[in-house]
Amino acid sequence: MNVPDRIFAVGGAGKQLAFELLETQWVLEAILKPRGTPLETKVTIIDSAEGEATGGDQGGDWERVDDIKRRIRRIQERYRDQDDRHRPGRIDVDYKLLTENVRLNRQLDMVGDAEVERITAGNGMERDDWWLRPSHINENLDFAKGVIRKRGLSKALYYKAYAEDDIEAVVDLPEKGEVAMLVGLGGGTGAGLLLDLVEHLKREQSTAEVTLFGVLPNNAEGEKENANAFAMLSELEYLSLSGADLFEDQILFSIEPTSYGGKADQMSPSVDYLKEFDEAFVYSLLLYYNRQYYLEESFTSSPYAPFTVAVPHLVRYNTEAIEEFRATVGDYLDQKSESMSAEKRLYDEVSSFLDTHYPESSGELSDEDEVDLERRIAQLETLISLELFEDLDYEVTSVFRTEVLDSARAELNADEREEGHALDTMIDIMVGSVEAGALENADSSSEEVLVADVLREDVVLLGRRKQILKRLKGVSDPKVRDALEYLVGLREGNAGAKSTQLSGEHQRAQTARKQAESELHETREELDELRTEQSEQVARKTDEWVAAVKEQFEQLDALESRPLRRDIETLRSSLQDFRRRVERARSPDEVEAIDLTEINEALADVEDDLQAADVYLDASDVADSVEMAKKARIAHYGMYADQGVSKYLPWESQRAKQRKSDEKQFSAQRAQLRNKSLPVFEVTDDGGEFTCTVRFDGQQLLDQVEERRETLRSEILSTFDETVPSPRPSERDHLTDHVENGSSLEEIRAVVEEALERELADTGKLESRVEGMEATVDERRAIEELYADAQNAVTELNTHTESFTRNLDAYQRGIKSLDETNPQQTAVEEEYTFRKHIQPHNIFLATGNSGLAESDVLDNRKEKQQLAGHVDELADKARSTQYCGLRKRKLIADQRRYDGIDVHVGLASEASLHGIVDLQSPFQNAFELDNSQYGQWECDFGGAWEIGMTSFITGVFLDNLRLMVGPEGYAEKYYEYESKLGGDILIHHAYGLEDGNFVRRKAMFNVEYTDDVRTFLQSDPEVTATLLDSFERVLITDPSAADEQFDGDIEVQTTTLTDGDSTTANATGVPDEIVSLEDDGDD
């Protein structure tokens, strides 16, 4: 879709058309749609009505513009979220109030000498050519309603704004492009500044292609509107004739069919018809800028026939009735959804109640239950059997019947039927089917999806209902079961009565529970007293036992705390060190010098450890063994000293005697070491080699300590056996574990105390009584809670029960009524002007679709024929003189006809109209066109359920516009009004005022007369010259300009325009004669 680069909406009518364009949702979405090359346009609204800027029926103009900008931003944001590959389009909207930045406090601000000097200088014009007079404006310059249909005042205001305000920033045109001008030709603001605005744009960008979209006022709107339209059209024609045309095309729109009587006429239906025109105009604008697919260049026209008459029409499918019917269906399904929501909540709460009070409850379905469930299945069948859904071709209902219902029945086997479990099994199969996605693959509309959701949820709830009914059979209390069956709709009744019954049961259960608790309390007190008496005896005996075993515990504790094994290892290490030194000593002196400190210290530590365990160690045994080892080593030295000399002597020498003594000494020491009760060393002589072996390993000592430990433990346990004559094996084992593991005396005391409590206790019977009474209290409390929860359930869930049953009943009644509803009987409005409402012959073809393109409407032959008939009806209107605005569609004289008219019809719809609409023949017959003079094109945009159509009739000259030349037409009313205004008629002109003149037609041709028709059958230059002859230039002079005070008299000089000697129209005109007129000053 193409859009113009710039749109200028000038004045009230142009502004309203711009708002209609910008407030049409599909237009915004189409322009802003992300594309590789996004569309961009800028809409500039220019007006002078200060009151409309800040207030109005739809809010002030500024407020509407702000709202439009917000809508644009929201659409852009949505598109950005949907498409991150392309940029969305852009629409800029500016609103310019001509009066907002200029000084307008009094008349002198527009006509005072100083002000006029500044305005004229700022616009490059002569001071004396300023046309505005005090009589043209009110004293206090009130622009609340704009310029009150005074074109010359609008032009003056534009010039003042140009001189004092930065209006160039608003009317700039930075690049070449297409420009649309939306203007009401009978108004003051738009028609007054249009030509100056376009000239301004052309100066900025001479190649700009500016197209005029002008709305013609109705003759009934008023003399000012008619005078403006006459002057405006005269000026447009004159520019074209003189070769100074500003526009690519000049497209005129007639609103005569609306019978609109002007701004004072705000009564329906004319205002409603005008709204129809505005909606249809949107299509005309967009069709014009998308005609390139059909017509590359502008609409062809001659200088004397520069106008194109456009007749907009809009076909809108009346989907309101369809949507209303769909909404009704939706409402019924919503009621079903609400019913199911309440039902689900009921089942959740009842299941929670049963889980709490009857977790294992279950049973078989009763006949009554089966009737209830079969009724629910029948309701499902009623829904899917509605003729409505068959007409709508809802796939989901047929899928449900075949894949869920019929499939479930088919899977039941003979055994299940005979055993009476058929219904139970069937429901399980149905639930399994929908949970497996049997309804997920249907190609569905939104309404069909809602039906599928209802069916799916209803089946799931049917399965839950079956389970609830089976579980209720396990509820033993009849009153509770009756209340729960009421809540799920299986029983009728009154919630208040059931609540009262349950409340009574709750009170009785509460009384019984309190009585049982009182008895339990008394028994516990008796038990506590007995236990108090026994606890004193237990404490005494426990203290006696602790005193008896305290010494043993202290010795055990000492044994556990002393590092005996480490100290023994230290002693053995010191003995080994001694052994090595003894063996390595080389003389008796070295032996005697060996330090025994480490041995003595280690021996002292071991001795201390053993004393703590009450184990005796004679330290002298170790000390003696050390001395014996030393003596043995010294004797061994003597045994082998000087042995080499003495053995050869013949007598026994003194040394030999000493050696024998040493041998005896060595043997004696060795024997003593071997005979020690605590072996420490072993010494040997191996061929003269002395060896000393440490035999001490401490194991004998460790064994003695362990033996002592066992003795202590045995004594402790023996004392326990004496204190507790009949201990339980577990108690003795428990005590043994504590003793062996080194537990503290306090920990072991607790074990003994516990055993004594049991041994001495005589509370068995009382404890049994307490246990039984506690069970009774728990049982009665459970009954009390059962009735309390049941009563609360009735109270709290009754609203859900009522909602469940109420919405279910409403849904069932509504579904039953659907087949009795016939939305096709909805009437379509008969009276219309530019917008025709229709509806499909078969409305169901449009149900559930978001637009005509997505529906099956135009796939149906009958629907195509019906649409073609409606479009033909619109085409008939378009060809009528009231709509096309022509005096004559065929201009014939002397067997010749005017062949300058072409007809181009544009159609717009998201749906393809190919082969449906062909209007060539009726238009060709109506205007006597050959094939080259008719064209038709289609565009794929528009509202979802709309078809836009515009008939563009080109080659129209001014004298063939019925609003211009007909009875009570613009021309006639202009000159009547001039007779009242005199020279002040200039205030309804605009073109040329800055040069001290204005132009107008002084005579019109009547195409009802053959002679006048002949005028338009001449060659183009001849027709142009003839029409130029019908114009006059009116010169404005001020005879009092030299006076200090202007007296309001104006002299008007009339100049006839002709082409002189040339066959080409002269743009400036050549004065032939001057007619002087004086204004009497009356308005």
Mean per-residue pLDDT, 159-164: 88
Q: Is 127 contained in some domain?
A: yes
pLDDT digits (tens, 9 = 90+) for 373-387: 899 898 888 888 887
- Is the pLDDT assigned to residue 926 strictly greater than 50? yes
CB 136 within 8 A of CB 115: no
What domain range includes position 581?
A: 564-612+619-677
Whether 926 and 973 map to the same domain: the answer is no
Whether 360 and 385 map to the same domain: the answer is yes
Distance CA 151, CA 861 (A): 53
Mean per-residue pLDDT, 425-447: 78
Whether 924 and 1006 map to the same domain: the answer is no
Q: For strand 997-1001 and strand 946-956, is the pairing parallel, antiparallel, or unpaired?
A: unpaired
The least confident of 162-176, 218-232, 615-629, 774-788 is 162-176
pLDDT for position 1075: 32
Instruction: Name every residue whose Cβ is closer than 8 Å to that of residue 93 and which is 6 or more positions away in sequence.
Output: 22, 42, 43, 44, 45, 65, 68, 69, 72
pLDDT for position 819: 60
Question: Is 791 exposed, middle or buried (CB count within 10 Å of its CB: 0-12, 13-18, 19+)?
Answer: buried
Q: Is 181 contained in some domain?
A: yes
0.85 surpassed by pTM: no
Whether 920 and 965 map to the same domain: the answer is no
The least confident of 386-390, 641-645, 832-836, 931-935 is 641-645
| 992 or 745, greater pLDDT | 992
pLDDT for position 887: 93
Whether 220 and 340 map to the same domain: the answer is no
pLDDT for position 419: 60
- The alpha carbon dihedral of 710, 712, 713, 718 has a sign of positive
Interior CA angle at 265 toward 261 and 270, to 5°? 75
CB 34 within 8 A of CB 212: no
pLDDT for position 186: 93
pLDDT for position 448: 76
Whether 979 and 1070 map to the same domain: the answer is yes
| 18 or 269, greater pLDDT | 18
Q: For strand 892-893 and strand 307-317, is the pairing parallel, antiparallel, or unpaired?
A: unpaired
Q: Is 664 contained in some domain?
A: yes
855 three-class SS: coil
- Is the pLDDT assigned to residue 830 strictly greater than 80? no
Whether 965 and 1056 map to the same domain: the answer is yes
pLDDT for position 521: 92
Whether 940 and 1025 map to the same domain: the answer is no
Of 912, 937, 955, the domain-final residue: 955
Distance CA 524, CA 346 (A): 43
Whether 983 and 950 map to the same domain: the answer is no
Q: Which residue, chain included where needed, has tokens 């009564």? A: 267
- Is the pLDDT assigned to residue 1060 strictly greater than 60? no
CA atoms within a 13 Å half-sphere pointing along the CA-CB vector of 66: 8
Whether 112 and 246 map to the same domain: the answer is yes
Q: For strand 892-893 and strand 896-897, is the pairing parallel, antiparallel, or unpaired?
A: antiparallel
Number of folded domains that form the chain: 4
DSSP for 390-450 reads HHTT-HHHHHIIIIIIIHHHHH--HHHHHHT-HHHHHHHHHHHHHHTTTTSS----HHHHH
Max CA pair span of the chain: 196
Whether 812 and 883 map to the same domain: the answer is no
CB 706 within 8 A of CB 655: no
pLDDT digits (tens, 9 = 90+) for 405-417: 888 888 876 666 6
Quick one: tokens of 805? 């049953």
List the beta bridge partners of residue 252. 214, 309
Of 955, 981, 1008, the domain-final residue: 955
Distance CA 908, CA 202 (A): 31
Most confident option among 66-75, 418-427, 508-517, 975-984: 66-75
Nearest CA-CA partner of 309 in 877, 879, 885 = 885
Q: Is 559 contained in some domain?
A: no
Most confident option among 236-240, 453-457, 828-832: 236-240
712 three-class SS: helix
Arithmetic mean of pLDDT over the chain: 84
The answer, yes or no, to whether the previous bond of 269 is cis (omega within 30 of 0) is yes
Question: Is 114 exposed, middle or buried (CB count within 10 Å of its CB: 0-12, 13-18, 19+)?
Answer: exposed
Mean per-residue pLDDT, 35-52: 91
Whether 208 and 340 map to the same domain: the answer is no
Q: How confident is the model at residue 1039 (pLDDT cuts 50, 70, 90)?
A: very low
pLDDT for position 1077: 31
pLDDT for position 1063: 32
Q: How many helices (DSSP H) and strands (DSSP E) are in the chain?
A: 37, 19
List the beta bridge partners of residue 689. 686
pLDDT digits (tens, 9 = 90+) for 101-160: 888 888 888 888 989 999 999 888 999 999 988 888 875 566 656 567 889 999 998 998
Most confident option among 232-236, 328-332, 437-441, 663-667: 232-236
pLDDT for position 278: 96
Mean per-residue pLDDT, 1068-1079: 32
pLDDT digits (tens, 9 = 90+) for 207-248: 889 999 999 999 988 899 999 999 999 999 999 999 999 999
Report the CATH number at residue 112: 3.40.50.1440
**Phi and psi angles of residue 807, each rounded to the nearest 5 degrees, phi first:** -70, -35
Instruction: Name every residue whose Cβ is closer than 8 Å to that of residue 718 and which is 6 or more positions away in sequence.
Output: none
Mean per-residue pLDDT, 654-683: 89
> What does DSSP assign to residue 364?
P
- Is the pLDDT assigned to residue 1057 strictly greater than 70? no
pLDDT for position 1070: 29
pLDDT digits (tens, 9 = 90+) for 55-70: 766 678 999 999 999 9
Nearest CA-CA partner of 998 in 251, 303, 248, 228 = 228
Q: How confident is the model at residue 321 (pLDDT cuts 50, 70, 90)?
A: low
Q: Is 708 contained in some domain?
A: no
- Is the pLDDT assigned to residue 92 strictly greater than 90? yes
CB 99 within 8 A of CB 48: yes
pLDDT digits (tens, 9 = 90+) for 333-361: 888 888 889 889 988 999 998 899 998 88
pLDDT digits (tens, 9 = 90+) for 866-920: 999 999 999 999 999 999 999 999 999 988 999 999 999 999 999 999 889 999 9
Q: Is 296 contained in some domain?
A: no
Q: Is 175 contained in some domain?
A: yes
Q: What's the 3-state SS for 104-166?
A: CCCCHHHHCHHHHHHHHHHCCCCHHHCCCCHHHCCCCCCCCCCCCCCHHHHHHHHHHHHHHCC
Q: Can you give the C-alpha Rg of the chain in angstroms? A: 60
pLDDT for position 1064: 34
CB 321 within 8 A of CB 839: yes
- Is the pLDDT assigned to residue 328 strictly greater than 70? yes
Of 661, 677, 693, the domain-final residue: 677
Q: Is 694 contained in some domain?
A: no
